[in-house]
Structure 1
Amino acid sequence: MNLQQSGLGVAITGSGSASPLTALDNEGLSKLVETSDEWIASRTGIRQRRLATPAESVTTIATQAAQGAIAMAGLTPMDLDLIILATSTADDLFGSASQIQAELGAQKAVAFDLTAACSGFVFGLVTAAQFIRTGTYQNILLIGADVLSRWVDWNDRRTCILFGDGAGAVILQANEHDRLLGFELRSDGTQNKCLNLAYQPEPKELVDGVTIGQGSFQPITMNGQEVYRFAIRRVPEVIEKALFRANLSVEDIDWLLLHQANQRILDAVGERLNIPSHKIISNLAKHGNTSAASIPLALDEEIRQGKIQSGDTIVTAGFGAGLTWGAAIFQWGR
């Protein structure tokens, strides 16, 4: 969909991020599984990942990220109309967005969770835009936050080397000039088994003839080769479609901000689109794969370092479990 076709515009006016203080580097990880810093870094680009302590949660780090975004946008929590939390690791299966609303003191805001795994932030961005473009809400807080360390098998070196915890947030506001230029979203449930965090039921007989399934979620499983092939094939396609809808070309891109899954994926997508490496944002070395948090976390870091300037055109794409993938193109600021 081309978001410029209707009258109300969308601007992204604030960003914030938060990471747990505890870091586990590759050398430390090598004490858990047979691996090394050189092996992990050469294959993924990751040097360390931040891990939440038992006292930290999705709610605590998401609230911290949200406070940064609200302040940058020059708003107060009471100005918010809607809070969307993109997460796959909520503190409560019934949702954590309302807890964040309470922590912020945003009494006027509606709050709900959105689950689309590593594509969650992009899906949330598009969802939030619809509320603004229809005139329903004016100020929306979108958070991407995940604490994947809860669901990693720390004896499985195929997955434990990849994931970390973090949160990132942005403020979307109604704006005279439309800064969300185009998007494309996709899903393919036939490939769900490539990457999942599945519920495993155990039979439990309540009374004669009545048996239910009551169990727990199992650790993350992933077919890394399939996910890599999926990403380098589908992500360039979806970016090209979003560029077409926005009536832009690759040359118009100032920054390519992909979900931070693997440096090899970032490099391969950049090569396929002929985007030079200096335009590709990467913070994998410090954070690893933080799922729905990875895009807004990296965005906030670049903005606060002064690299991303107001008016810069950013192409962002998320991809992962579901399988889901999508791209959105926006200009930073009003």
Structure 2
Amino acid sequence: MALVGCGSAVPAASITNQQLSERVDTNDEWIRTRTGIRARRIAGPSESLTCLASRAAQAALDHAGWSPDDVDLILLATSSPDDLFGTAPRVQGTLGARRAVAFDLTAACSGFLFALITASQYLGSGTMKRALVIGADQLSRWVDWDDRSTCVLFGDGAGSVAVEACGAQDNGLLGFRMRSDGSRNGCLTLAQLDKHAPLLGELTAQRGGFAPIQMNGQEVYKFAVREVPAILSELLEATGTAPEQLDWLLLHQANQRILDAVADRFAIDHSQVLSNLALYGNTSAATIPLMLDEAVKDGRVQPGHLLASSGFGAGLSWGAALLRWQGPTD
């Protein structure tokens, strides 16, 4: 599987820490020192998840030099769909990718990596040739904006990559690992509301809806700084890759302290850690492709560069992938 194109999209409106302090009891220094976040993008009335995902996917198509009819598969990693029956088909329709099968994949902040690995299996089997993998979330609709422990963390955005089947010499997915631990699910949830209404006689029916995001920040932080280095170590050992061979660390953008801790674990210079969370906050499944697109477009990530990537979050779930960027082919 070769990674041959990328794209991203973010809402127009940006809310700074100082602006947020007008709503809740917080301040810029408190947020920055604990998370590294300075601002986050928030979708407006005309910026649905479908809109953001479609814009990112179209940008990846353009970058790869594909037409919509070239696409066999569209995978949308999201935990905040516009339609619980699936938002990927809406994206397919918007793009005009008539030949593509499209479906959602939900794995929270690990979603993009899980979707990328899933796409690789279709391409590797020979059943499909080209795929768009999108990570997009609009968690602003599920944040309690009066809860300063969570509302300061999340933002909206989308990112996408175009991937295609290739020979071994161009393979861009050199190895991967995936993990889940449902026994720790309660650390980070966006849970169904436990509300029931009378139906017939003594029977009731549950009403749809979800509670705001709930998070045990300390436990999630400890989970990340323990499990991410462990799974990356396992992957690097399995692929015979030394940390000094890596060009970049491309990690889920949740907290700058987590990114720095992982770099320190492998003695990787902090300048090799790709980070844009200061401007966007935690965009969940979008963080990795959003960061990749930024680094490709500004020239930091070049064809042939080797990236160790890890996604981690609710589920609890986490994963890692060793990626080589190729970029558009002639």
Flag whether TM exceeds 0.5 (same fold). Answer: yes
Partner of 1:200: 193
1:68 matched to 2:53: no
| Residues 9-57 of structure 1: per-residue CA shift (max 9 Å, x gap) | x100000000000000001000011111111111111110000002111
Query: Corresponding residue for 1:298?
Result: 291
Q: Deviations over 1:210-264 (max 9, x none)?
A: 2222142000010000000000000001111111222211111110011000001
Instruction: Choose which of 27, 43, 48 in structure 2 pairs with 1:52.
Output: 43
Q: Which structure 1 residue ranges, 4+ long, deviate > 4 Å from structure 2? A: none
Matches within 5 A, 1:219-230: 219-230=212-223
Amino acid at match of 2:269: P
The correspondence for 1:245, drawn from 238, 249, 254, is: 238
Identify which range, 195-204 or 135-144, moves more after superposition.
Answer: 195-204
Q: Distance in 2 between matches of 1:280 and 1:85?
A: 26
Give the corresponding residue for 1:13.
4
Give matches, 1:234-313, under 5 Å. 234-313=227-306
- TM-score between the two structures when normalised by the length of structure 1: 0.96
Matching residue of 2:85: 94
Q: Is the 8 A contact 1:200 1:217 kept in 2?
A: yes
CA RMSD of aligned residues (A): 0.8
Work out which of the residue numbers 85, 95, 108 in structure 2 matches 1:104. Answer: 95
Amino acid at match of 1:102: G
Over 3 Å counting, the alpha-carbon distance change for 1:96 and 1:215 in structure 2 is closer
Q: Which residue number in structure 1 is paired with residue 153 of structure 2?
A: 162
Matches within 5 A, 1:210-225: 210-225=203-218
2-structure distance, mates of 1:142, 1:121: 7
| Partner secondary structure for residue 92 of structure 1 | coil
1:209 corresponds, among 182, 199, 202, to 202
Give the distance between the partners of 2:237 and 2:122, measured in 1 at CA: 23
Matched, 1:129 2:112: no
Same amino acid, percent of matched pairs:
55
Is the deviation greater in 170-179 or in 25-34?
A: 170-179
Aligned residues of 1:183 and 1:245 also touching (Cα < 8 A): no
Distance in 1 of aligned mates of 2:238 and 2:129: 24
SS in 2 for 1:17: strand
Unaligned runs of 5+ in 2: none
TM-score (structure 2 length as normaliser):
0.97
Q: Indicate the SS of the match to 2:148.
A: coil
How big is the shift at 1:194? 0.3
Three-state SS of the structure 1 residue aligned to 2:149 is: coil
Task: Look up the SS of the partner of 1:199 in the other structure.
Answer: coil
Determine which of 185, 199, 209 is the counterpart of 2:178: 185
Alignment length (residue pairs): 325
- The one-letter amino acid paired with 2:217 is G
* Ranges in structure 1 where 5+ consecutive residues have no aligned partner: 1-9
What secondary structure is seen at the aligned counterpart in 2 of 1:158? helix
CA distance in structure 2 between the partners assigned to 1:34 and 1:202 by the alignment? 30
